[in-house]
Structure 1
Amino acid sequence: MTSELPLGREVAYPRAYDPSLLFPIPRAQGRAALGLGDGALPFAGHDRWHAYELSWLDGRGRPVVETATFLVPAGSPNLVESKSLKLYLNSLNGSRFDGRDEVRARIVADLSAAAGAPVAVEFGLPPVDAGDGAMPGAPVPVSLDDLDVECDEYDAPNPALLSASDDEVVDEVLHSALLKSNCPVTGQPDWASIRIAVRGPRIDRAGLLRYLVSFREHAGFHEQCVEQVFVDLMARCRPQALSLEARYTRRGGLDINPWRATPGLAPPPAARDPRQ
């Protein structure tokens, strides 16, 4: 019967501001599986969120619409589950605030409390770039996506597919738009492009592409997937310097862009893919 189908069913969204909707997840849970204990992390980085659906009521009850960028440090104890963030932002829709500064201050305080570290919040979004991994002053990116490679592993990331040459040291940027994993909460697909800037032994490109494709049916949070790529590349390919950023496409009015790099490297300029 049509009444039994989930399509069209009403979802109860919050009608009043409610920071308790934010659901923090300890990063230690995912990092333990990567062999990262309580010591210093082997990477620096952040998670840059883009919020496309942000609204509240002003002091006279008139709706205000905005977009926003949230920057969560990778060193924070917790990541914030994306659906809970969506519900939290929805809780602002019917609430009155005296002005933009009050809204921003509330979001900063609430996200910082959930993450366990200071979160930067700014209204507005970064620009859209070409989505090919090109950045000023960096080597021209090499796309992996047209390689004539047979792929047959999809269920779990397989670091054994990664290797690097001991005979050549390079400074290069590799790029792919074929990264996909699944949300561990909803099972829905998460699509991303990934940019890998590396200095060190030349990474076997065919193996790297097969490795990225092996995430295809893997259930993992965006942040954890990027950290696994970082850890596996460091262990298997021994780069002297590594910087990687994944740009995930939007779900529920949000996209996430985790960046991880060997300490001391500058973050990439904030930007969005055409798919975002």
Structure 2
Amino acid sequence: MNPEAESAHGAESSPLGRPVAYRDTYAPELLFPIDRQLKRSELGLRADALPFVGEDLWNAYELSWLDPRGKPVVALGQFRVPASTPRLVESKSLKLYLNSFNQQRFPSVDVVQETIARDLSAAAGGAVAVDIVPLLQRPRRAAAYPDGFCLDALEIAVDTYQPEPAFLRAAGGGAEVRETLYSHLLKSNCLVTGQPDWGMLVVRYRGQAIEREGLLRYIVSFRGHNEFHEQCVERVFCDVLARCRPAELSVWARYTRRGGLDINPFRATHAGLHGGEEIEVRQ
């Protein structure tokens, strides 16, 4: 489909779960946008009154093209898709699109970067920031443990594996706290194929203390849930905001790489609350 089309389809029409012919020359029509509002409506969200700001940070580890003489260039790519864009890009279609660069000649890295930025922006319906760095320049993607409390050693009993907001609660009447809680036990499944997606979930907030055992049970309850990465993070954000009522909240997930891509959605109550650098968890 044409990524500049104004309409976007639902996940059921995507190339996920279907055999496809791999293209190795530039094919922007492979990008498959999905309307974010289809899932946001389930959460009672309106496009003109979102309770969060943020972005989806993509890292692309399998990116290559040919220089003008036909010599391959291999690079690492990073794409930042604003949460305010009306569409997300389905991950398999992005992989197919990036593979279409493999046998295409480009005059420079700048042209590749400009091309990808133009195509992703058209697909998402808003400006997507793109950074392409050849491996000759030794780019790095740093990932460390967050500076906070890991929930995973808590002794809990769990028998619920679909999202259960009732597990979330905040202490009433106590002193306001500011803390970071995180877990490596996030698992959800692809909305279309059912394949598992694994991630670390980080919740940073200011407000009444969130009950930790309940938060861990809630995170584990996603284990049988089918949704895209971006949609899971927005569901977590909305549930924590509604049930615990923090004054400030940011939620992000760093999912493990699949098909040469990782997707790391970030949502916060307001701009400037743990920005893009925090998504990388650089220490």
Which one of 94, 98, 115 corresponds to residue 85 of structure 1?
Answer: 94
Q: Which runs of 4+ in 1 moved over 4 A?
A: 270-274
Structure 2 stretches lacking a partner, 5+ long: 1-18, 134-138
Which one of 148, 172, 175 corresponds to residue 166 of structure 1?
Answer: 172
Matches within 5 A, 1:200-211: 200-211=207-218
Amino acid in structure 1 at the alignment position of 2:34: I
Amino acid in structure 2 at the alignment position of 1:179: L
Residue 12 of structure 1 and its aligned partner are, at CA, apart by 2.6
The answer as to whether partners of 2:264 and 2:279 remain within 8 angstroms in 1 is no
Residue 268 of structure 1 and its aligned partner are, at CA, apart by 4.7
Amino acid in structure 1 at the alignment position of 2:168: L
What residue number does 2:5 align with? none
Residues 1:46 and 2:46 are matched in the alignment: no
What residue number does 1:150 align with? 157
What residue number does 1:133 align with? 146
Mapped partners of 1:198, 1:270: distance in 2:
14
Residue 273 of structure 1 and its aligned partner are, at CA, apart by 7.5
Mapped partners of 2:212, 2:166: distance in 1:
13
Residue 186 of structure 1 and its aligned partner are, at CA, apart by 1.8
SS at structure 2 position matched to 1:206: helix
Structure 1 residues 95-128: Cα deviation after superposition (integer angstroms, max 9, x where no partner):
1111111111100000000000000000246532
The answer as to whether partners of 1:59 and 1:97 remain within 8 angstroms in 2 is yes
SS at structure 1 position matched to 2:59: strand
Mapped partners of 2:101, 2:33: distance in 1:
19
The answer as to whether partners of 1:22 and 1:85 remain within 8 angstroms in 2 is yes
Mapped partners of 1:127, 1:133: distance in 2:
15
What residue number does 2:122 align with? 113
The answer as to whether partners of 2:67 and 2:106 remain within 8 angstroms in 1 is yes
What residue number does 1:104 align with? 113
Residues 1:196 and 2:196 are matched in the alignment: no
Residues 1:267 and 2:272 are matched in the alignment: no
Mapped partners of 1:271, 1:171: distance in 2:
18
The answer as to whether partners of 1:126 and 1:270 remain within 8 angstroms in 2 is no
Query: Please, which moves more after superposition, 260-269 or 57-66?
Result: 260-269
The answer as to whether partners of 2:252 and 2:279 remain within 8 angstroms in 1 is no
| Identical columns (%) | 56
Mapped partners of 2:39, 2:110: distance in 1:
35
The answer as to whether partners of 2:187 and 2:196 remain within 8 angstroms in 1 is yes
Residue 271 of structure 1 and its aligned partner are, at CA, apart by 5.7
Amino acid in structure 1 at the alignment position of 2:275: P
Query: Please, which moves more after superposition, 249-258 or 185-194?
Result: 185-194
Mapped partners of 1:11, 1:40: distance in 2:
38
RMSD of aligned residue pairs (Cα, Å) = 1.6
Residues 1:178 and 2:185 are matched in the alignment: yes
Q: 1:17 to 1:47 in 2, by over 3 A?
A: same
Structure 1 residues 223-276: Cα deviation after superposition (integer angstroms, max 9, x where no partner):
0000000000010000000011100000000000000000132415156579xx
Amino acid in structure 2 at the alignment position of 1:222: H
Residue 63 of structure 1 and its aligned partner are, at CA, apart by 0.7
Q: 1:115 to 1:98 in 2, by over 3 A?
A: same
TM-score of the pair, normalised by structure 1: 0.90
What residue number does 1:226 align with? 233
Matches within 5 A, 1:12-27: 12-27=21-36
Amino acid in structure 2 at the alignment position of 1:177: H
TM-score of the pair, normalised by structure 2: 0.87
Amino acid in structure 1 at the alignment position of 2:120: L
Amino acid in structure 2 at the alignment position of 1:211: Y
The answer as to whether partners of 1:127 and 1:271 remain within 8 angstroms in 2 is no
Mapped partners of 2:149, 2:112: distance in 1:
42
